[in-house]
Structure 1
């Protein structure tokens, strides 16, 4: 058993290094998300203002401060690099994996199942896709999972694998330990609030409150909840007061627009139907999709359900339903459900392996027949799904390069090498899926190898059409001498402007004809000059050229939209949808 545990530890460490560390610096930053968080944190470092978030030198009130702090610390340590921009997400995912291991030990009392849970979590599609991408959701997941870990730790006597629910258990932890524990829950919730807003306290409450009732600890939790509330306020209040002193309207904007409007109003951002997350959770669970439905069914319908299963059910499904009901939806929101999903699948796999071993033992005395195991099992189903996913990926790539379906024509004729790399990626996915069939109950974990090449090589497969619309870094670096020599830089895209500000360490980028998410910041009297309406461009340009050269970087709109023309330039450079217009000084 120790050999198996050490083997899994090495396996998990190697997979983490390959998926989460090696590729970070090899991928260009994506706009708008990655360049936004990179720029905000860099401006925080350059300006020394660690209280009020700014984007392109403009007030930016969409999120609290803690996520930017983590990103800024990463940039201070690792410097100006894509690795530094993304490392905070990787670090958050790594810490979450540690919490998952500890939670699984408490809930299921099995080191092997805990290792299974970590392996499944780190290799799940949504986790490694978002965990190597610079957004705030991995940090929110880390803080919420930390709060849940502390809760399970101080109530571990109530999470008995063989005890029925609704029966109150006397907790053996001392009063001092309980005070520290509930205080730590308050700290984790405070950091979640300071990272992503009030969701940081809403999500833990809707998970832990019903769990507390079901495991018979509601009265104890109510007695100590004041400690959690006090700690939560104590950690949030200093920054809340500091930003209110500097920007009195911050909380009005953040509460009413970013929370109420985003999640409840009919005009909420990113509106999507109720079922939006249903197909996403299926894709998110790859390469473990074959276990998902039966694992959840087993967890819910198990007649001898241990109390620990109630936490997993609440953790997975209550946030899922909560975000499904909300008007505004983004696929990263359900990342907080992934730790519970990983533990649920790990518990089910352990159950299947134990059941198989039991049947083998009983078969020797004639009570069972091994032929019962020859039916399609979740192990076989998972292998078939992974093989099919790889084959479908190869077919899709071939259709893209062939040009038979114009709507899928992402690759140009000279990008055969990128398509070839993509085919290798999907072929390896199918191969790892097939390897699990060699001995389904023994080698099921080889499915963890499915995403290895995808993570390593994805950056080399992105079509030029996407690079030259969603990844402005390459275009900016190609034109760095001209942009560096420009007295004034303008862009008609918020994402491109943000990338310019980050790459050039110059937040003073002017915005042409588009306000977007910076509309609120541009509304301040001291910032209105940064916006240039299209009808004023000629006069503005003539005035600026008296003092030096002007560069305008444009992102061409889709073919269905007519884009206003620009005055004749001294020099023009175009790459797909990116273009640079250079104007010499008068």
Structure 2
């Protein structure tokens, strides 16, 4: 099994990095993380993250560090920005396999859980655009796995690794990430009536946790007065209780969303309980352990005001395990039905991609490329569906993985040929670089576009006219240098500075089409006698 598992993981990794850098950074989250890491590499300051020249202390730095490492190895480009997320997903697959194996002692169930986890749309979404969530989930799974390992063999190094990964969770997203591993550990102890351990290794492990988890926080708070209150009030309390970051969603948001990004496996989770509810209530401590861990985080995330799709990613390893358990109990007839369902989905996706190339859509799709994808995945799907026997419950999990691979390969091409449609401004940046042969000034009206700075490899200037993303937090700046990168339109002196900018060097003024220039900028536009449209953006130069 081990050699086959390594081959499978190697193939999946190669598929994940295939054409990984072929499309531009997407606004706003991916561009923001990528640009912060770029500025770290350029400045050499790995303590104070900056975004467009202004300190950006919203999150701890692990994601920035891993991205910066990608730049050091592969260069400052999209591939470098995204590479370690693909590696993180492969590690997640290994951990899902090992956690399932620990809990249910079956390699076949563990392999099915691995394939199902890979086939969830949300797991792929999380690694195709740069955010903290892929790394956070990897560290959460690692902490759970090493704690289970320690419980099974009592080897101290597993305990130290448990505390180490808890610390990385804290250095990736703060205390919020603790919810799953802590709930898992506490529930495990209650269900198994275990006493709390006090020994030398526990103390040393906790000291390791304190050292690793607090290192960056202590240094950055020492260098920035008032940062402790900022972390507690702005980044912890207000994210949960207020809608300061415009991420407020109703309580039922995840209840509606999770089935959409977990289809169709999420429904097998329901079928499993319907079929085994009596056994679960009477005997299955492991099932209770996973259920309580799932429900605790789900309720806490639903209560929180701030909600994004990827916040629920760490829950999906539990859904993968239950789906694998359900498959292991299915009849041959049911396995055949589920396998046929996935084969049909593969045909629908790949043929839909091909048919779209004939339609008069705004998306650019190469017909030959689409036809090759249709043929290749139809053949692979048909062979798998016919050659793998229906008594093998891994069959539908394998077809599920093949289904998501067809989406990955198709989307790689769509993204690369339709960058403006996926909210990347790389074509806009290339236009500016090709048009101007000398030093230029780039102004963005009332919108944050960090990827422009990334692609132009220079500072750009944001005009703040009230949009919440352009109202930057400058309380930790110790000089006025940041004012070169941010103009406050509500300040008369700053408005006056705007009119003088175009006289000194070639100027590019960018705004969204739906925005309307105020009078002062209309005067500036008159001095810029050319205009070019880029989907939802306009460039005056």
Structure 1 and Structure 2 fold alike (TM over 0.5): yes
**1:68, 1:574 → 2: CA distance?**
33
Q: Secondary structure at the match of 1:291?
A: helix
Change (3 A) 1:23 1:440: farther
Q: Does 2:533 correspond to 1:578?
A: no
> TM-score scaled to structure 2, two decimals?
0.85
Counterparts of 1:350-429 in structure 2, within 5 Å, are 350-352=328-330, 356=331, 374=333, 377=334, 379-381=336-338, 383-384=340-341, 387=344, 391=348, 411-412=361-362, 415=363, 417=365
- Asked if the contact 1:89/1:139 (under 8 Å) is kept, the reply is yes
Map of 1:481 onto structure 2: 434
8 Å CA contact 1:290, 1:383 repeated in 2? no
Corresponding position of 2:323: 345
Q: Among 272, 292, 304, which residue is 1:314 paired with? A: 292
Q: How many residues align?
A: 525
Aligned residue in 2 for 1:167: none
237, 256, 262: which one aligns with 1:285: 262
TM-score (norm. length: structure 1): 0.79
Greater shift after overlay, 315-324 or 73-82?
315-324
Q: What are the equivalent positions in structure 2 for 1:423-572 lying under 5 Å apart? A: 438=386, 439-442=389-392, 443-444=395-396, 445-462=398-415, 467=420, 470-482=423-435, 485-492=438-445, 494-496=447-449, 498-513=450-465, 516-517=468-469, 519-522=471-474, 524=477, 526=480, 527-528=482-483, 530-534=485-489, 539-557=496-514, 562-564=516-518, 566=522, 567-568=525-526, 569-572=528-531
Alignment RMSD, CA only? 3.4
Q: Given that residues 464 and 487 in structure 2 are in contact (C-alpha distance below 8 angstroms), is that contact kept between their aligned partners in structure 1?
A: yes
C-alpha displacement of 1:246: 1.3
Q: CA deviation at 1:43?
A: 0.6
- Structure 2, unpaired ranges of 5+: none
Q: Answer whether contact 1:473 1:499 (CA < 8 A) is retained.
A: yes
The corresponding residue for 2:93 is 97
Question: How do residues 89-238 of structure 1 correspond to structure 2 at under 5 angstroms?
Answer: 89-156=85-152, 173=154, 177-178=155-156, 180-220=157-197, 226-238=203-215
1:329-355 residue CA offsets vs partner (Å, 9 max, x unmatched): 100001111222222222332333xxx
Report Cα offsets for 1:362-421 as digits up to 9, x if no partner: xxxxxxxxxxx54xx265146436636864897799799978xxxxxxx33xx4636897
Instruction: Give the unaligned 5+ runs of structure 1.
Output: 157-171, 357-372, 404-410
- Decide whether the 8 Å contact of 1:67 with 1:139 is kept in 2: yes
Structure 2: distance between partners of 1:190 and 1:240: 12
Once residues 35 and 266 of structure 1 are traced to their aligned partners in structure 2, the CA distance between those partners, rounded to angstroms, is: 22
Partners of 1:293 and 1:436 in 2: how far apart?
Answer: 26
Distance 2:233 2:369 in 1: 47
1:191 CA drift (Å): 0.8
How many Å separate the matches in 1 of 2:529 and 2:516? 23
The correspondence for 2:14, drawn from 14, 17, 27, is 17
Question: Residue 290 of structure 1: CA displacement?
Answer: 5.4
In 2, Cα distance between equivalents of 1:321 and 1:155: 28
- Give the whole-Å Cα distance in 2 for the aligned partners of 1:101 and 1:288: 17
Aligned to 1:336: 314
CA distance in structure 1 between the aligned counterparts of 2:90 and 2:191, rounded to whole angstroms: 30
CA distance in 2, matches of 1:462, 1:322: 34
Q: Within 1, Cα distance between the matches of 2:243 and 2:538?
A: 36
Distance 2:264 2:158 in 1: 35
Whether the 8 Å CA contact 2:419–2:427 is kept in 1: the answer is no
1:164-190 C-alpha deviation (Å, 9 max, x unpaired): xxxxxxxx63xxx34x43332221111
Query: Residue 137 of structure 1: CA displacement?
Result: 0.3
